[in-house]
Amino acid sequence: MGGFSLKRYLALALSVVMVAVAAAGCGGSSGGSNGQLTEVKVATISPLSGGQASLGVAIKNGAELAIKDREKDLAAAGYKVVFQPQDDEAKPEVGTQIAQRIAADKGFVGVVGTLNTGVAKGIAPVLHREGAGLVMISPANTGVVMTESGWTNYNRIVFRDDYQGPAGARYAFQVIKAKTAYVMHDKTDYGKALADEFAKEFAKQGGTVAATVGVDAQKADYGPEATQAMAKNPDLIYFGGIYDTAGPLFKQIRAKGFKGAYMGGDGLDSADLVKLGGEAAENTYFTSVSADYKTGDGKAFFDKYKKAYNDDPAAYALYGYDCMNIILQNLIDYGKKNGGKVPDRAEFAKQVRATKGFKAISSTVTFDAKGDNPSSKVFVFKIESGKSVDKGAAPEK
């Protein structure tokens, strides 16, 4: 047993400081009251850093605008909403960690997210089980699995890939008049399922699918993959995946001499596709959600967003806004009936699922029994001169 020494004192002091910091970090604040108003928390979960940040930040910004817009109505119903955006880095492990934390924090009443189906697949069940059914609405998940797994707390306002993939295939065969397609995907839940849906319908329409191939996402070198694609000499190359993989991939396939069209899903819907792909992104089609920014509420949103964030709203900004608005409207309705107290999570999720005819800016939202929004339509866009041009709705048959 030694006596007092500086080294031991320092070591002890350091341990005490570390424990204190850890304890302070762990202690979350739950809803208290702010004067007369009940404080509740909402979160967005989307990638705020990394290759897909442009879409994730759009969702966060849209949601933030919705909270600002409804502040007065919320106060009238007795609530002060605190916004805590989360960064899932498009990684399922990170998303699940975030979900555990939010599930345990009783102050949260709702979540808007995610961008990626693969990340949402880990979050929704955690919120369902450990989170006592905390409600979650997605502005961007298109993976079919999300509403086929019995998660009563999960809803989405966008279409599913078993609708998006075939719509793209019909457009490719009937409008672009491609006869052979080479189908690629990024091996994620979203990308692979979407590519398979496309391939199935394309073959049904009468086209030939030369091959279906998975590539590693976010790699640098796609030389071998590009060579293999060129060897099959397809009219069209379909890619199920996100723009941060598509950009370099398309570039390297063009470098090998590909003159045909590229096609993909809503994961390609970002200005960064042109930034990353450059010239190669010309003649790329993609199916996605649409927004009318020229008239009425759409234009008002566009101007508001531009003023607040100094940038044009990316595809999912409007959908982030609408999702948050649905949660907030349901909160207001609940508050008016129950005197502004924190809602029971399972009850609130049931109420959100029962949303009917909500006039969101993007569409009129009614959730069906599974949590899907049947009114969401698929539009086709084409990259021309570095800008995405709306080519109209995809063929229905």
Which residues are near other proteins by CB under 8 A?
49-51, 53, 187, 211, 213-216, 219-221, 223-225, 227-228, 230-231, 244, 247-248, 251, 255-257, 272, 275-276, 278
Nearer residue to other proteins within complex by CB, 150 or 223: 223
Nearer residue to other proteins within complex by CB, 162 or 225: 225
Q: Are 193 and 216 in contact (CB under 8 A)?
A: no
Q: How far is the CB of 252 from other proteins (least distance, A)?
A: 9
Q: Are 202 and 173 in contact (CB under 8 A)?
A: yes
Q: How far is the CB of 279 from other proteins (least distance, A)?
A: 8
- For residue 395, give the nearest of 260, 242, 202 by alpha carbon: 202
Q: How far is the CB of 115 from other proteins (least distance, A)?
A: 15
Six token digits for residue 228? 């293999």
Q: Are 152 and 350 in contact (CB under 8 A)?
A: yes
Q: How far is the CB of 281 from other proteins (least distance, A)?
A: 12
R_g (Cα) of the chain, nearest Å: 23
Q: How far is the CB of 239 from other proteins (least distance, A)?
A: 14
Q: How far is the CB of 183 from other proteins (least distance, A)?
A: 12
Amino acid making up residue 291: A
- For residue 290, give the nearest of 198, 169, 376 by alpha carbon: 376
Nearer residue to other proteins within complex by CB, 29 or 227: 227
The CA-based angle 143-149-150, given to 5 degrees, is 130
Rounded to an integer, what distance in angstroms lies between the CA atom of residue 160 and that of residue 47?
21
Nearer residue to other proteins within complex by CB, 276 or 326: 276
Nearer residue to other proteins within complex by CB, 149 or 233: 233
Nearer residue to other proteins within complex by CB, 280 or 317: 280
Rounded to an integer, what distance in angstroms lies between the CA atom of residue 209 and that of residue 137?
35
